[in-house]
Amino acid sequence: MKSALKPVITVLKYISDFLDMICRKVCLVIGIVMVVDLFLGVFTRFVLNSPLNWTEEIARFCMLWFAFIGGSVEMKKGNLINFSFIVDKLKPNVKRAAEIIDLCLVLVFLIVFLYVGVDAMKIFALGKASVTRINLAWTAAGIYAGSVIMVVHGVYQLLTKLTGEPIVTEESTITEMEGQEG
């Protein structure tokens, strides 16, 4: 099974790494837009005493995108939804089994979330934001996109755990490099 999954894991790792790189850049842009938007909102409201109506809406939309796209970045790093304070105390075989169960539960949740999200997207597509008139499907698309990317990361991590291969993350690479220097 190990050798049969190797090409699949290699392709999934490439896709996962590529999506992670894009998500990090998207989060940077969204973060900048959100900071500028909030600064503009506070400045116009409290300094100019003439608030812009749209700044709160834009900040809310950015926050939704940032939370789910940023969540996918954290999932890639292995920092999302885990019980490390319990799992780290387990014996290696039990620890691996617990990590596999954890990944399976996360994937089941995400798949159900995406399945239900299809109907939600249809409902969102009917509405528009009250001030900016942006179609609400655009705001919901960030939730959906982040969840799909989390599934890709989760499947890669699950297959890697099942085969016993080490999951290579940015942090594990940095740790290895620091160990070689010392």
Q: Is the pLDDT of residue 175 over 80?
A: no
DSSP string, 26-74: HHHHHHHHHHHHHHHHHIIIIISS---TTHHHHHHHHHHHHHHHHHHHH
pLDDT tens for each residue of 54-70:
999 999 999 999 999 99
In a domain, 172, yes or no: no
> In the predicted model, what is the mean pLDDT of residues 136-158?
92
pLDDT tens for each residue of 77-136:
988 767 777 878 888 888 888 888 989 999 999 999 999 888 888 888 899 999 999 999
Of the pLDDT bands very low, low, confident and very high (cuts 50, 70, 90), residue 177 is very low
Residue 180 is predicted with a pLDDT of: 55
Here the tokens at position 20 are 């992670």
Q: Give how many domains the chain has, as a whole number.
A: 1
In a domain, 176, yes or no: no
Residue 5 is predicted with a pLDDT of: 82
In a domain, 177, yes or no: no
In a domain, 181, yes or no: no
In a domain, 67, yes or no: yes
Domain limits at 122?
2-167
In a domain, 119, yes or no: yes
Residue 2 is predicted with a pLDDT of: 66
In a domain, 120, yes or no: yes
In a domain, 50, yes or no: yes
